[in-house]
């Protein structure tokens, strides 16, 4: 069964409170989502493999640790997942970025895939799928299906807010995918929105309705 990690650092919780506030406008919302993603990336990458290298300091030779492991791909679920990419690239600047376009039909709540562009070597990369919201879990489950169909093997999912239903759905469909969240909220409402949540993440990031 996949591991679920809540990253409840005080800075993340403080920024999340501001993100949830309906009076926070698009500019601040975007900045805060980027900052939380960057803070979360620190924890999501904690188990990256290291190798020992020899470095010449101005004083002498010494053995140091550097990243050894597989290369990383960040894969946002469009649109809202895009808001997390720049913050993560600040910490992992060499990562490649793939894109999966997915929208949730407002009547049926079923996800619809409309775009997929991934690095060619996706099968050998450590993949971090980003989306601020994990509601019914349908979008994340289908996005991960789309990645696996194209050869992806090492996948983790990173969201700001999840619902208990969404977490369960991903765990059941993809027991190999670890999930990282800032908070798991109480429930979904009748329209499939997370309660208390933050509303529609994509609309708030991009100022559309
Ligand atoms: O877990 P689910 O029930 O599938 O819901 C979550 C999805 O809904 C939102 O996207 P939305 O469909 O609003 O698209 P957008 O990012 O383009 O706004 C959100 O960003 C997730 O992708
Ligand atoms: O609460 C929710 C649920 C789905 N998508 C969002 O942006 N917010
Ligand atoms: Mg949306």
Residue to mutate (ligand 2; options 135, 142, 190; most atoms within 8 A of CB): 135
The reported pLDDT for the residue numbered 29 is: 98
Residue to mutate (ligand 1; options 76, 112, 133, 174; most atoms within 8 A of CB): 133
Encode pLDDT of 130-150 as tens digits: 999 999 999 999 999 999 999
- The lowest-confidence range among 17-31, 65-79, 123-137 is 65-79
Average of per-residue pLDDT across 18-23: 98
Residue to mutate (ligand 1; options 75, 100, 135; most atoms within 8 A of CB): 135
Does residue 69 register a pLDDT over 90?
Answer: no
Confidence of residue 209 (pLDDT cuts 50, 70, 90): confident
Percentage of residues in the chain having pLDDT higher than 90: 94
Contact 84, 75 (CB under 8 A): no
Using alpha carbons only, give the angle 66, 67, 72 rounded to the nearest 5 degrees: 160
Strands in 19-167 per DSSP E: 50-56, 61-67, 72-78, 96-97, 99-104, 111-117, 126-130, 133-134, 154-162
ipTM value for the complex: 0.97
Using CA positions, which residue lies closest to atom 19 of ligand 1? Answer: 133
Buried b (16+ CB within 10 A) or exposed e, 1-23: ebebbebeeeebeebbeebbeee
Distance CA 99, CA 146 (A): 11
The reported pLDDT for the residue numbered 1 is: 84
Chain mean pLDDT for the chain: 96
Using alpha carbons only, give the angle 162, 163, 164 rounded to the nearest 5 degrees: 120
Which residues are bridge partners to 195 per DSSP?
Answer: 187
Using CA positions, which residue lies closest to atom 3 of ligand 2? Answer: 193
CB within 6 Å of ligand 1 — which residues? Answer: 77-80, 102-104, 109, 111, 131-140, 166, 192, 200-202
Using alpha carbons only, give the angle 204, 206, 209 rounded to the nearest 5 degrees: 65
Confidence of residue 106 (pLDDT cuts 50, 70, 90): confident
Using CA positions, which residue lies closest to atom 22 of ligand 1? Answer: 139
The reported pLDDT for the residue numbered 127 is: 97
Percentage of residues in the chain having pLDDT higher than 70: 100
Phi-psi region for residue 75, left (φ > 0), alpha (ψ -120 to 50) or beta? beta
């Amino acid at each position: 069964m996949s591991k679920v990690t809540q990253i409840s650092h005080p800075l993340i919780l403080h920024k999340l409170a501001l993100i949830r506030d309906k009076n926070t406008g698009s500019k601040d919302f975007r900045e805060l989502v980027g900052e939380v993603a960057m803070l979360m990336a620190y924890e999501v990458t904690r188990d990256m493999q290291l190798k020992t290298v020899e470095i010449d300091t101005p004083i002498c030779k010494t053995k140091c640790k550097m990243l050894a492991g597989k290369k990383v791909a960040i894969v946002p679920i469009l649109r809202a997942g895009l808001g997390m990419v720049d913050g993560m690239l600040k910490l992992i600047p060499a990562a490649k970025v793939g894109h999966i376009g997915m929208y949730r039909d407002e009547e049926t709540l079923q996800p619809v895939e409309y775009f997929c562009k991934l690095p060619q070597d996706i099968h050998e990369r450590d993949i971090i799928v980003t989306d601020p919201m994990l509601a019914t879990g349908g979008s994340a489950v289908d996005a991960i299906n789309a990645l696996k169909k194209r050869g992806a093997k090492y996948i983790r999912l990173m969201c700001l807010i999840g619902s208990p239903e969404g977490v369960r759905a991903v765990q059941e469909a993809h027991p190999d995918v670890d999930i990282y969240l800032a908070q798991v909220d109480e429930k979904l409402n009748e329209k499939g929105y997370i309660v208390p949540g933050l509303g529609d993440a994509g609309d708030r990031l991009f100022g559309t309705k």
